[in-house]
Chain A
Amino acid sequence: MSFQRTQEKLKILADAAKYDVSCSSSGSKRANTNKGLGDATGMGICHSYTEDGRCVSLLKILLTNHCIFDCTYCVTRKSNDIKRAAFKVQEVVDLTINFYRRNYIEGLFLSSGIFKSADFTMERLVAVAKKLRLEENFNGYIHLKSIPGASDELMREAGLYADRLSVNIEIPTEAGLKKLAPDKKREDFIKPMVKVKNEIIQYKAEKKIIKSTPKFAPAGQSTQMIIGASGENDFQIMQTSNHFYKNYNLKRVYYSGYVPISYDNRLPQIGSAVPMLRENRLYQTDWLMRFYGFDVSEILNEQHQHLDLDIDPKLGWALRNLHEFPVDINTADKRMLARIPGLGMKSVYKILNARRFRKLNWEHLKKIGIALNRAQYFMVCESNLYEKRDLTAEKIKGLILQNSTSKYQKSLSNQLNLFG
């Protein structure tokens, strides 16, 4: 490995890969059984964090940033005048192994620009994973990108070596895709996703009968959507997200606030702010859907197509549904506890456990670590002190905002000024 050449390539190809937000390294069950290198059984580990506060868990690089496509939102698009580079298969293997041995990373996240054809590209990605597994005895985490349009045969092979596969649909609606990436079709994204989904189901079924059945993408599939590039509203985005969770058994949908990288007039201009607050609200909604028992239509529907920026989506829902409150902390079921604004699932479980020993009062709740600023208006406990006034939703919202400082205060006032 020539150090200087590798160094230059690494700079270019890591820079080009950074817009993919996934860094998850959990959920696999690949144990180190052969006295080889690495183990991907436990929870994921973030080995470091960049200055933007994002986790660094995997060596996230492109195999190459040469690309035959010209998607406007993408930094490696054909027409963009940037330095191009390409790794050799062995270079990626060496980097991964040496970073892993030093405990820098949990594994590799390999993506690529599309050169020549989908299959030609996918073949190279698979070759890297195969070499890591078979020649290097590597049991760490491997996340491969599914190249849109790749053949079923290659996708099957990819799943045998990778822990996770992902294909980014990027633009939430087909209309948006048509506008921003005219030479790409939705079907091309879906095809590998369907293949992998079916294989996962099949391998799981076979494993029940024959224990030695190899693992197939044990950490499942994920996808990513760009937020704020093509004008979709939150309702459309979460509908798409829900559709993919339900129909393709995805483990994760990632939302990536668009970072302006182009002067194309179909897109937000360079210098405009990354919609980080909106991204955050979408993730909160995603969590409510997956872990808090909400149906997406309770939060976003024809009447409410936009998430509030100044309050979180659960509080927003609660304020529209005051008739469901107050909830009695000492008797309510899990479902209702999870719906109290300010209560996370960890707090819910703590309450469920602690109340088996005694009735809980405010003092207990505070000590346990429940954030009462929001919760107090929506609950009662073992105490005569509770909110007895019949407050309107507006009034409650005002009181809560008065007593809290959002970490987004600055961006909030900027974004609100736009409408002011």
Chain B
Amino acid sequence: MKYKNLIYDGTFDGFLSAVFYVFEYKLETVNIQNEFVVQQGLFSEVERIITDDVKANRVWQGLKSKLSTQGKYQLYYAFLSEQIGVELLLLDYIQYAFSKSKNVDKDYAHPSVLKIAQIAKSVGREKHRMEAFVRFRLTSDNIYFANIEPDFNVLPLIEKHFKRRYADQKWLIYDKKRHYGLFYDLEKVEIIRMDFPENFDFTKTDDKFFAEQEFEFQKLWQDYFKATNIASRKNMKLHIRHVPKRYWKYLSEKQPN
């Protein structure tokens, strides 16, 4: 039995195409790796997977008949975690799901099912945090701009939320870590890549780029944040649990005045 190393293009469809390949050739020992994070195994045979929408869709439809909607979402969420090795966990889960006649997505005593549920939960938490912690700043050309650096790749998950909510304003959310953003132009949301001016400081609100009133509202928000605190109930431990320090740098209320 040969050990195969499947390399896919980093997309979810690419991953599902790899899963299809595993089933097609009845492979038993494989590794599935994102082409951006490949680690070469010594004796493994490398196979580059060509992303094929039709094949990907067949796997997805198959899962649809096996899992609940929630179970299917969990797979997608876990995939977006981008954790090293998550592909193999997902594959194990998918193989287990196809091997059983009944829906297994709540079989929490099965190691892969439990692990995927846990990863999906972390990703869900990050998604929710981004819905909360995005801070728009009005630019001088009237676009509400926000930059984020989420632990997981959650932009695809938060698009709908922001589109529904801010239907009447242009907005742009940029993932600085993954170098892409979502831009809403009052009609549709598009994925964009951007070149920022050299030494553009994402934590500062520079009057070269931002609208004049932006400074006032940030100040009002900071004042509000301070005034609404009850000092005699101070509980920093709880505070930091809810707003971990790694998110502070882009929160307007956490900036020094």
Contact = CB atoms under 8 A, between A and B. Distances in A.
Interface of A: 3, 6-7, 10-12, 14-15, 17-19, 31-32, 35-39, 41-42, 45-56, 59-60, 95, 98-99, 101-104, 137, 257, 259-260, 274, 276, 350, 353-354, 356-358, 360, 364, 367-368, 407
A10 B167 contact: no
Contacts of B169: 37, 101
A17 B228 CA distance: 8
Given A3-B216, A42-B161, A55 B242 contact: yes
Interface string B137-180: 11000001010000000000000010011111100000000000
Contact of A48 (B137, B225, B236): B225
B162 to A, nearest CB: 8
Interface stretch (B74-82, B83-91, B106-114): B106-114
Contacts of A49: 238-239, 242-243
Nearest to A360: B109
A300 to B, nearest CB: 25
Contacts of A368: 108-109, 114
A143 to B, nearest CB: 15
Interface stretch (B1-9, B28-36, B128-136, B195-203): B128-136
B233 A6 contact: no
Nearest to B115: A367
Interface string B241-252: 111000000011
Contacts of B233: 52-54, 257, 259, 274, 276
B109 A56 contact: no
A39 B216 contact: no
B244 to A, nearest CB: 11
B230 A52 contact: yes
Contacts of B146: 103
B236 A51 contact: yes
B228 A46 contact: no
Most buried by A among B111, B167, B223: B167
A7 B235 contact: no
Contacts of B19: none
B234 interface: yes
A17 B104 CA distance: 49
A341 B240 CA distance: 28
A260 B230 CA distance: 11
A399 to B, nearest CB: 26
Contact of B108 (A45, A53, A354): A354
Interface of B: 104, 106-111, 114, 128, 131-138, 144, 146, 161, 164-169, 213, 216-217, 219-221, 223-225, 227-239, 241-243, 251-253
Contacts of A357: 104, 106-107, 109-110
B132 A46 contact: yes
Given A95-B220, A354-B108, A101 B144 contact: yes
Contact of A59 (B104, B161, B219, B224): B224
A133 B238 CA distance: 35
B161 A274 contact: no
Contacts of B239: 49-53
A38 B239 CA distance: 27
Contacts of A276: 233
Contacts of A36: 167-168
A225 B143 CA distance: 43
Nearest to A106: B132
Nearest to A58: B228
Contacts of B221: 99, 102, 104
Nearest to B251: A48
Most buried by B among A46, A52, A257: A52
Contacts of B235: 51-53
8 contacts: A11-B227, A12-B227, A35-B167, A36-B168, A37-B166, A39-B164, A99-B221, A103-B134
Given A49-B242, A52-B239, A15 B109 contact: no
The 5 closest A-B pairs by CB, nearest first: A53-B238, A353-B106, A14-B227, A52-B233, A50-B229
Nearest to B164: A39
A52 B104 contact: no
B114 to A, nearest CB: 6
A32 B131 CA distance: 17
Given A48-B225, A356-B106, 11 more contacts: A45-B128, A47-B133, A49-B238, A52-B239, A59-B224, A102-B135, A102-B136, A102-B137, A103-B136, A137-B168, A259-B233
Contact of A18 (B213, B229, B241): B229
Given A49-B239, A354-B107, A38 B230 contact: no
A55 B230 CA distance: 12
B223 A7 contact: yes
A347 to B, nearest CB: 10
A101 B165 CA distance: 9
Contacts of B108: 350, 353-354, 364, 367-368
B224 A14 contact: yes
Contacts of B224: 10, 14, 59, 99
Contacts of B137: 102
Contacts of B216: 3
A18 B144 contact: no
Given A14-B227, A32-B164, A350-B108, A7 B220 contact: yes
A274 B132 contact: no
Contacts of A35: 167-168
A49 B236 CA distance: 10
A103 B237 CA distance: 25
Nearest to A37: B168
Most buried by A among B128, B135, B161, B220: B220
Contact of B165 (A32, A46, A99, A407): A32
A350 B166 CA distance: 36
A137 to B, nearest CB: 7
A55 B238 CA distance: 11
Contacts of B238: 49, 52-53
Contacts of A6: 220
B148 to A, nearest CB: 11
B229 A52 contact: yes
